[in-house]
Amino acid sequence: MSDTDQPNLYLVTPAAFDLDAFLPRLAAVIDAEPVACLRLALVADDEDDLARAADALREVAHARDVPLVVTGHAGLVERLGLDGVHLTDGARSVRATRKALGADAIVGAFCGASRHDGMNAGEAGADYIAFGPIGDSPLAQGPRAEHDLFAWWSQMIELPVVAEGALDTALIEAFAPVTDFFAIGPEIWREDDAVAALRRLIAPIR
């Protein structure tokens, strides 16, 4: 990736949020910086709550030509008019999900720090592979995805790769040459001014 071919931004919602308060914040962030994709990562016990959030976010995203994917709920993609799904179980359900949703849907796969899972997910039909966390996170359930993994992937594999998890400005600068997307969520939503937080975070690639 050349200096002029910088990674794109992949925006991730919080796991919990007040919909009415979140929508204007989301719109402001997307209007401030180009966003390639939005992921609805809401953890909801009630399917109706997830559907309401998806409907509202779809309007904001599609009005700005940003595709919307949902974490894990492949069965809701068509019913809610979403663009695809972000799978969190590596390569395990990629093939069945691709078959169910068809060729036009976005199917992404989070593969932790496993090159093997990433390659299998790609062969099974994933549109992108996400690795992470790339930073130190007390909530991480697996090892960090190291720079070497991304460097190898960017040299050997054409499938787009997403870097996510505990990002900071130094990591953005270090990983920019070896990733196609940065998935950004908690890093900005925990701040009062999400737009300012995003611009500080991505300063090395702007």
For 200, the token pair is 């500080």
We find that the CATH architecture of domain 8-205 is: Alpha-Beta Barrel (3.20)
The confidence score (pLDDT) of residue 2 equals 34
Closest CA to 131 of 68, 182, 66: 182
The confidence score (pLDDT) of residue 201 equals 98
User: Which residues 6+ apart lie within 8 Å of 3 measured at CB?
Assistant: none
Measured distance CA(131)–CA(90) in Å, rounded: 10
Measured distance CA(110)–CA(89) in Å, rounded: 7
Look at residue 1 and tell me whether its pLDDT is greater than 50: no
Q: How many CB atoms lie within 10 A of CB 68?
A: 24
* Contacts by residues 50-53 (CB-CB < 8 Å, ≥ 24 positions apart): 50/76, 51/76, 51/80, 52/19, 53/13, 53/19
Residue 51 CB burial class (10 angstroms; 0-12, 13-18, ≥19): middle
The pTM for the full model equals: 0.95
Look at residue 149 and tell me whether its pLDDT is greater than 70: yes
Per-residue pLDDT reduced to its tens digit, 19-56: 999 999 999 999 999 999 999 999 988 899 999 999 99
Are the C-beta atoms of 57 and 70 separated by less than 8 Å?
no
Per-residue pLDDT reduced to its tens digit, 51-96: 999 999 999 999 999 999 999 999 999 999 999 999 999 999 999 9
For 193, the token pair is 């001014």
Look at residue 4 and tell me whether its pLDDT is greater than 70: no
Segments making up each domain of the chain, as ranges: 8-205
